[in-house]
Amino acid sequence: MMDSMPLREVVNGYQADCRSHSGETHRSSNQDEDMSTSLQPSQPASASSYPPDNQPSTCLAPITDITPNNGCVKGGTKVLVIGGWYMKGHDYTVMFGERRVPARLIQVGVLSVIVPPASMNGVVPVRVLCNGQVVSSSSEFTYNEEQDEMTTVALRQCMVDRLHIVVHAFGAMEKLQWVASIDEDSVLSLLQNLAGRRLSLPTLLSAHPTLPSRTILHIAAALDYHRVIEHVLAWRFECFLFF
């Protein structure tokens, strides 16, 4: 889970003393045009383009999180792939099994992608490519049967449960009066109101087996609350908060 990882690793997807997916040490995005010459020409994706996961390589960055990591077989789910991606102006794509789809670098370390449809449910490998070359180790995405109304209700209840924990951590229980209305505008309004408060019980935001494990970011992604996703990503980056 992302909650307990240091921000520096969550954003970059690798340790400060490791090498990036380009084979160069990590540099700011305004240098990425100089780095583009180190990338090989694009090649079609094939089974031979995937190096074995157990093969040592300093060029493959790990995928630290896929949010959400499951979706319905019809595709169309917006997914965030988090890892060591930072080179603006380059062509990122993501492979879901044998299907490649375009990805967009929305901020340092975060790719946004729309999941392609699948012929059946099950687990497929996920890899990131930059300019046609594999730059990540393998992760997994699970295709499920089509999401129904009950699943949406369950996700909204998860959001309510997680918001209770976050609000408790900020000592702002009076902000939960609106909780019966759990639409995107209400969630965004609550989080914006919490932004100016001090965190009074930070331990509540740490991973614990008796507390809900999915973060607001995970649940917002599953519900397609795009504005909540953007707000949480910015807040986490600025305040080193993980919820």
pLDDT tens digits, one per residue of 186-218: 888 888 888 777 777 777 766 555 555 578 888
Contact assessment for residue 176 and residue 167, using Cβ atoms and an 8 Å cutoff: yes
Regions in the chain scoring below 50 on pLDDT = 1-20, 22-58, 240
In terms of domains, do 178 and 122 share one? no
202 lies in a domain? yes
Contact assessment for residue 91 and residue 42, using Cβ atoms and an 8 Å cutoff: yes
1 lies in a domain? no
186-189 long-range contacts, CB within 8 A, separation 24+: 187/159, 187/163, 187/216, 187/220, 187/225, 187/228, 188/225, 188/227, 188/228, 188/231
pLDDT at 148: 62
Domains contained in the chain, number: 2
2 lies in a domain? no
Tell the residue number behind the tokens 């699943």, with chain if given: 151
Query: pTM of the predicted model, to two decimals?
Result: 0.48
156 lies in a domain? yes
The rounded distance, in Å, linking the Cα atoms of 227 and 198 is 23
| Final residue before a domain boundary, out of 144, 162, 188 | 144
In terms of domains, do 174 and 79 share one? no
pLDDT at 221: 86
Task: Give tens-digit pLDDT for 60-70.
Answer: 999 999 988 98
pLDDT at 1: 40
In terms of domains, do 219 and 204 share one? yes
DSSP class of 98 = T
Contact assessment for residue 170 and residue 200, using Cβ atoms and an 8 Å cutoff: yes
Residue 162 is part of which domain span?
A: 149-239
Tell the residue number behind the tokens 């397609």, with chain if given: 224
In terms of domains, do 139 and 222 share one? no
In terms of domains, do 72 and 23 share one? yes
Contact assessment for residue 179 and residue 161, using Cβ atoms and an 8 Å cutoff: no
pLDDT at 40: 40
15 lies in a domain? yes
As given in the structure block, the two tokens for residue 238 are 């600025």
